[in-house]
Structure 1
Amino acid sequence: MADSNNFSHSATIFPVSDLTKSIEFYTEKLGFEKTFEWGKPIYYAVVKRGGVGIHLTKRSDGGKPSKYHRALYIFVNSIEKVYKQCKEQNIKVVNDLELRDYKMKDFDIEDPDGFIITFGKTGD
């Protein structure tokens, strides 16, 4: 097995149907900042908030995200604050905030392309 210290970090990549709409969702509704874009017209972009980066790319096939599996789990320090902000922004919440049996307090949202994103905090 290779030396695991050689691994630096990873990138979550979401193939999206409308890149402009997705960038607006993540920046205007979730408070991310667009830090990179590539192509003319734009084909690829990166949005970041804190230590979380999401890469968005223009979908070139008809693939649909899973409605059952989470695409991304984001750990936050103030879960109630994030939940309140999502509700205020009228973001589609698909599972309300609650303490789960796996010792996490979390909730799920759905982005414009149907990706399920969970925000969570270790349950107190």
Structure 2
Amino acid sequence: MTSAIPHPVHFGRIAPTLPVADMDRAIAFYTQVLGFTKAFENGNPVGFVILKKDNAELHLTLDKQHKAVPRNVAHLLVHDAAALYQHLQQHNVRVIKALRDADFGMRCFVFADPDGNRIDVGENR
């Protein structure tokens, strides 16, 4: 592996884009369960949405044939993984990997949104 060559371009935010089969269902989940707010939408019917909460930004794109993949598609860093884990359990959200203190120094778990998109949650310990 070669070392990276510095360049003058400053990077701004980068946000994951998740495909969803049902935009209304996805928006309801991310706003009502996770507390995001809709910052932007495009299309009629809506085919693209930007959601924001605190420092997190998430993009949703409509794909009516979306099939979930068996890997994590986004990582969410939080300040209290246990509290979010409990909140998601109270809302009957599907947990893929239970809350644990990992040997790499994080408290973490994985959940799936209504479209099966796997979100890896981590808290630095």
Same fold by TM-score greater than 0.5: yes
Shift of 1:65: 2.9
What TM-score comes out, normalization by structure 2 length?
0.88
Partner of residue 56 from structure 2, selected from 52, 70, 79: 52
Q: How does 1:96-115 map to 2 (within 5 A)?
A: 96-115=98-117
Deviation of the 1:15 alpha carbon: 1.4
Letter of the structure 2 residue corresponding to residue 66 of structure 1: V
Residue 20 (structure 1) aligns with = 24
Contact preservation (8 Å) 1:17, 1:113: yes
Shift of 1:64: 2.5
Contact 2:95–2:111 (CA under 8 A) maintained in structure 1: yes
Q: How many residues align?
A: 121
Which consecutive unaligned segments of at least 5 residues does structure 2 have? none
Give the corresponding residue for 1:120: 122
RMSD of aligned Cα (Å): 1.6
* Ranges in structure 1 where 5+ consecutive residues have no aligned partner: none
Amino acid at match of 1:112: P
Q: 1:33 matched to which residue of 2?
A: 37
> Deviations for 1:15-68, whole angstroms, at most 9, x for unmatched residues?
1111111001111111111111111111111111111111001116x452321x
